[in-house]
């Protein structure tokens, strides 16, 4: 399997709910393949936002985005949520160069702030219609103690999310 496409909620779930479907988090944690979570209505993306942290998963995600014909013609935005450091600038430049060398229009930013809020603001400013992000980079114990950025992002998403593992 190259990609699993799954709805945000089951067919019988109330679509206005702020909750994820009963099986989505379990599926995302257990399947180590890309998963495309889609809302009830899906349209092909024109502006794709990749939440990038420089991890191996995120770097593989940039390379996958660069090679995939699914993103042909879309503008790829790469955002690092963190401090403006030489390391973050180097990581961002690598991601943008990789996308541009593959023929994509690519834009990027480094922004300080809380991850979910910062990405939501960037999404609104740039009319983003698909989010690409890694998932569950921390243990289940940490998730129970402090929560999960992945779960918060998926719960609030009103656009398709490509989840990388």
φ and ψ at residue 152, rounded to 5 degrees: -65, -45
pLDDT computed for residue 163 by the predictor: 84
Phi and psi torsions of 62, nearest 5°: -65, -45
Q: Is the pLDDT of residue 15 over 70?
A: no
* CATH topology (fold) of 34-40+49-164: Rossmann fold (3.40.50)
So what's the pLDDT on residue 100?
97
Q: What is the pLDDT of residue 7?
A: 79
Determine contact, residues 100/108, Cβ cutoff 8 Å: no
> DSSP string spanning 38-81?
E-SS----SEEEEE--S-HHHHHHHHHHHH-GGGTTPEEEEEEE
- Residue 131: closest CA among 111, 97, 155, 112: 155
Q: What is the pLDDT of residue 139?
A: 42
The enclosing H or E element of 164 equals strand 161-164
Q: Give me the sign of the Cα torsion angle 33, 38, 43, 46.
A: negative
Two structure tokens written together for 123: 């999404």
Per-residue pLDDT reduced to its tens digit, 48-102 = 999 998 888 889 889 999 998 888 899 999 999 999 999 999 999 999 999 999 9
pLDDT score at 77 = 97
Domain boundaries, the chain: 34-40+49-164
37's enclosing H/E stretch is strand 35-38
**Quick one: average pLDDT of 3-27?**
64
Q: Which residue has the tokens 């990388």?
A: 164
Give the pTM. 0.80
């Amino acid at each position: 399997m190259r990609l699993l496409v799954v709805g945000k909620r089951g067919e019988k779930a109330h679509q206005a709910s702020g909750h994820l479907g009963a099986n989505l988090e379990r599926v995302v944690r257990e399947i180590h393949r890309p998963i495309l979570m889609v809302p009830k209505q899906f349209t092909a993306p024109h502006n794709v936002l990749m939440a990038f942290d420089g991890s191996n998963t995120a770097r593989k995600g940039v390379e996958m985005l660069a090679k995939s014909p699914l993103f042909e013609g879309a503008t790829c935005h790469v955002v690092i949520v963190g401090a403006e450091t030489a390391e973050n600038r180097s990581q961002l430049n690598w991601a943008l160069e990789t996308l541009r060398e593959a023929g994509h229009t690519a834009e990027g930013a480094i922004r300080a702030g809380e991850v979910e809020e910062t990405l939501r603001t960037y999404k609104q400013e740039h009319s983003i219609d698909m989010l690409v992000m890694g998932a569950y980079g921390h243990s289940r114990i940490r998730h129970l103690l402090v929560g999960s950025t992945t779960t918060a992002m998926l719960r609030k998403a009103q656009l398709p999310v490509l989840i990388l593992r």
